[in-house]
Chains A and B, each alone.
Chain A
């Protein structure tokens, strides 16, 4: 079964960040796509998922819509310094010339094909902030103590 735009986008970004984490020598940082997976494992972790998608008609009278997904990159760090380092690192990595967009086909829960189909274009970074910042850190569980949110508005361009 082929993935559609949202899941392709999530998987492409997870693959991109996973490769970059390894290349840049970050060890033991997981890239996940669901909140439950983050809380099931150990920190630090980066959660990447499509939060919602704005649509806009491509042309008057047409039936085709342009899609602008909002992607949330949530960082779950083990210290405040690590939170800031990872947030800066994520932003740094997003400044690349082209972020590859792949289309995935899944067979029996495993990736069967992964084809380069375009570029992910970042339109804007709307939120880049500490999460749960107004809640007393002493009462937060360790998973929630050093969280950071980066919100990206993007679209998929042709390769």
Chain B
């Protein structure tokens, strides 16, 4: 939430300002601009992932899982980008791809098992009879190198900050223009 404090010594002018804001001249425009920014941020995030991912041929699971959600439009606007439950279900490695690290619990593995009969001292006569018996569970191989994160969340936040500043400047200019007409 953005809190703005305006200190007006002239009560009459302050009342006019409140009336001006209540006229919704800027409010609806600001709301529309915020919605556009949310769409833009989703697109930006997807573009960063597309541009920086190492294996573009592997599909667009993460890009498709990132979307915007309107959470509240009463007395303000609240938009969420990237529903964590959805991301966990559809693109479980979204955090590792962002921040870098090892892909958890994933990769090549060998099933746990044993050689049967597994005599401690092999019987040379029966050496062909022993066979691999698959048990339960698996042993995962750790990837040799960790993934370099692409920081798509931080990059999108940075872009959003810059765009938000531009929009606030535009709104501010309109508000000042409106105040001049009071």
Give me the interface of A with B, judged by CB distance under 8 Å.
Answer: 35-36, 38-39, 51-52, 127, 131-136, 139-141, 143-144, 147, 149, 151
Contacts and interface: CB of A to CB of B under 8 A. Distances in A.
B43 interface: no
A136 B123 CA distance: 46
A146 B179 CA distance: 52
Given A127-B154, A131-B99, A147-B99, A140 B104 contact: yes
Given A132-B95, A132-B96, A151 B104 contact: no
Contacts of B155: 52
Given A36-B146, A134-B95, A151 B100 contact: no
B151 to A, nearest CB: 7
28 contacts: A35-B100, A35-B149, A36-B145, A36-B146, A39-B102, A39-B146, A51-B154, A127-B154, A131-B99, A131-B101, A132-B96, A132-B99, A132-B101, A133-B95, A134-B95, A135-B96, A135-B104, A140-B101, A140-B102, A140-B104, A141-B102, A141-B142, A143-B146, A144-B96, A144-B102, A144-B104, A147-B99, A151-B154
Contacts, number: 50
Residue with the highest number of chain A CB atoms closer than 10 Å, among B84, B96, B100, B142: B100
B88 interface: yes
A136 B105 CA distance: 10
B47 interface: no
B69 interface: no
